[in-house]
Amino acid sequence: MALALAVGVAALALLPLGYIAWYTADLGWEGVRELVLRPRVGELLWNTTRLVLGTVIGCAVLGVGAAWLVERSSVPARRVWHVLLVAPLAVPAFVNSYAWISLLPGLDTYAGALLVVTLSYFPFVYLPVAAAFRGLDPALEETARGLGLSSWAVFRRVQLPQLRVALLGGGLLVALHLLAEFGALQMLRYPTFTTAIYDQYRATFNGPGATMLAGVLVLLCLGLLLAEIRLRGRRGYARTARGAARPVRPVDLRGLTAPALLALATLVGLALVVPLASLGYWMTGGRSAAVDWAALSTTTGTTLALAAAAAAVTTAMALPTGWLAVRARGRISTLLERSTYLGSSVPGIVVALALVTLSIRATPWLYQTVPVLLAAYAILFLPRAVVTVRSAVEQFPPLYDDVAASLGSSAPDRLRRVTVPLLAPGIGAGAALVFLAVVTELTATLLLAPTGTTTLATAFWSASSALDYGSAAPYAVVMVLLSAPATVLLSRDARRGLTP
C-alpha cells in the first residue's frame, strides 16, 4: 500500500522531466538542432554560467568567512550576528532585487545581478558551513597548530577539507536556486535560461522554443547534481575517537575585531538593511496611492489558503516515501526518495510549462484549476517534507508500535495513539517549510494560477513590472513578515537544512 503510494508520488515528481524528454524525442533531431544550436542559446548559456559561477564563489567566500567569524572567532555578539546572517532568507530574491533596482536603476548589469543574487543566497552556504564548524573536533586543529601551522594554514589544510560537504551542499543549493531564479533576474534585465523561457512562453505559450530552452535548463540542473555527487567523494569526516569533543576556544581577533565587525555590519547592511529600508521607503515615502487594504487582505487570504492546502497535500504525499525510506530500507525505497529530489531540482518555470501542456491535453477538466497548481507546488517542494518526515520516522523506533500491539491495541488504534502523535512534530515541520515556500512562490504561480486567482507574489509581480513600486511594496512586506518566523526557526537550529 505504502509502496504503491510512494511509486505514485515519485511518478508525479518525475512528470515534468518525463514530459521534456518525451517532447524532445517527439520533436526529432532536426527540430532540436534548429531550436537549440543557435546563437541566442549560446548567449544564454554564457550568461547563466558566468552568473552561477560568480554567485557560487561569492556566496562561498561570504558564507565561509561569516561562519568562521561567528563560530570560531572572538567577535562580539556572535548569537546576534548569527540571526542577522540568516535573516536575509526572509526576503525573497525577487523582492531583494526590486528593493535594489528601485533605488539604483543602474544595477541592470552583470555586476548588479551578481551583487543582488549573492546577497540573497549567501545564507544557503553560511547555514550549513556554520553548522559544520560547530561539529568540527577542535582536537584536530590544536594538533595541527601544535605541529607548527599558522591559523591560516590550519584553516586551509585542516578546517576547509572538513567543511567540504557543507560547502558543496550549500554551493549546489545556490546554483540550483539561481538556475531556477526568474523574478530577481527579470527585474535586473539579466537574461538567463529561465527568463528566456518566460519570454518565449509569453510569445508562444507552450511553443517548441520554450520547451527546448527548458530542456537545456534541465540538463544544466542534472549536470550540477552529478558534479556535486562526484566532488563530494566518499571520504568520511565523522569524529571516531571516544569521549566528547572539547568546546572550541575562539581565535582571539585582537586588533582585527573592528575590521571584522565592520565586515559583518557591511554584509548585514547590504543583505538585510537595504531591502528593508527600500521597502519602508516605498511603503511610506513613495509616490504611491494609499494601500488598497481590501485587495491586500483578499490576496493574503488566497495565498495563505493555497499555501495551507499545498502544505497539507505535499506532507501527505511525503508520508509514504519518508516512511519507506526508513522502514523498508533498500534500493527501491532509496530510488523513490531520490526521485522526489530529482523532480524538485527542475526549475519552477519548467514544471509549470509541463503541467500547463499536460493538463490541456490529457486532463482538460483539471486545466486552470487549483489541483494543478497544488501539484506543481508538491513537485517543487516535496523534498522539504520528505526530509522532515523521514527524520521523524528515524527517531521513532518500531519497538513502540510493537509494544502497543502486544498490549492489545488494534492497528487503527496504534496509528491514532502511537504513530501519528510521534510523527506529528516532523509532519508539522515539513508542512511549515512547504507552507512558507509556497507563500513566496512566483514563477509556477504566474503560469498556473486559475483565472481570477491572485497571490501575494503575482500581485507584487504585476505591480513591480509596471514599475509601480509603491503599489508593489505592501505585498512584499506581507511576504517578508510571513517568512520571518521560518527564518527564526532556521537560525535556532542550523543543523537542519533548508532543502536536502
Partner 1 sequence: MSMSRRTVVGLATSSALLGALAGCGGSGAAGEGETLTVYSAQHESLVRTMLEGFTEGTGIELEFRDANDSELANQIVQEGEASPADVFLTENSPAIDVVDDAGLLAPLDEATLEQVDEAFRPASGDWVGFAARSTALIYNPAEIAEDELPASMLDLADPAWEGRVAIAAGGADFQAIVSAVLALEGEDATREWLTGLARNAEIYSSNTAIMKAVDEGEVPVGITYHYYWFRDQAQDGLVGDDAELHYFRNQDPGAFVSVSGAGVLASSDQKDDAQRLVEWLTGPEAQERLAGSSALEYAVGVGVASADALPPLADLQAPAVDPGSLDAPLVTELMQEAGLL
Q: Where does this chain bind partner 1 (CB under 8 A)?
A: 35, 38-40, 43, 105-106, 186-187, 189, 191, 196, 198-207, 209, 287, 302, 304-306, 308-309, 311-313, 315, 357, 360, 364, 367-370, 374, 424-425, 427-429, 431-432, 435, 449-453, 462, 465-467, 485, 489, 492-493, 496
154/427 with CB nearer partner 1 = 427
What is the rounded CA–CA span in Å between residue 76 and residue 93?
Answer: 29
Residue 107 Cβ vs partner 1, minimum distance, rounded to whole Å: 11
105/161 with CB nearer partner 1 = 105
What is the rounded CA–CA span in Å between residue 5 and residue 2?
Answer: 5
Cell numbers linked to 439:
507563500
What is the rounded CA–CA span in Å between residue 99 and residue 103?
Answer: 7
CA 434: distance to chain centroid?
10
Residue 302 Cβ vs partner 1, minimum distance, rounded to whole Å: 6
What is the rounded CA–CA span in Å between residue 350 and residue 194?
Answer: 8
49/465 with CB nearer partner 1 = 465
Residue 432 Cβ vs partner 1, minimum distance, rounded to whole Å: 5
330/452 with CB nearer partner 1 = 452
Q: Which residues pair with 73 in a beta bridge?
A: 251
Residue 311 Cβ vs partner 1, minimum distance, rounded to whole Å: 4
Residue 206 Cβ vs partner 1, minimum distance, rounded to whole Å: 7
CA 133: distance to chain centroid?
22
174/446 with CB nearer partner 1 = 446
**Residue 500's closest CA among 274, 318, 244, 281?**
318
Residue 497 Cβ vs partner 1, minimum distance, rounded to whole Å: 14
Residue 222 Cβ vs partner 1, minimum distance, rounded to whole Å: 25
* Cβ neighbours of 75 (radius 10 Å): 21
Residue 385 Cβ vs partner 1, minimum distance, rounded to whole Å: 11
Helices (H), 104-192: 110-135, 138-146, 151-154, 160-180, 183-187
79/202 with CB nearer partner 1 = 202
214/224 with CB nearer partner 1 = 214
First-to-final CA distance of the chain: 26
What is the rounded CA–CA span in Å between residue 391 and residue 32?
Answer: 43
156/361 with CB nearer partner 1 = 361
SS3 category, 73: strand
Separation in Å, CA 389 to CA 38, 83, 317, 414, 497: 45, 26, 10, 18, 13
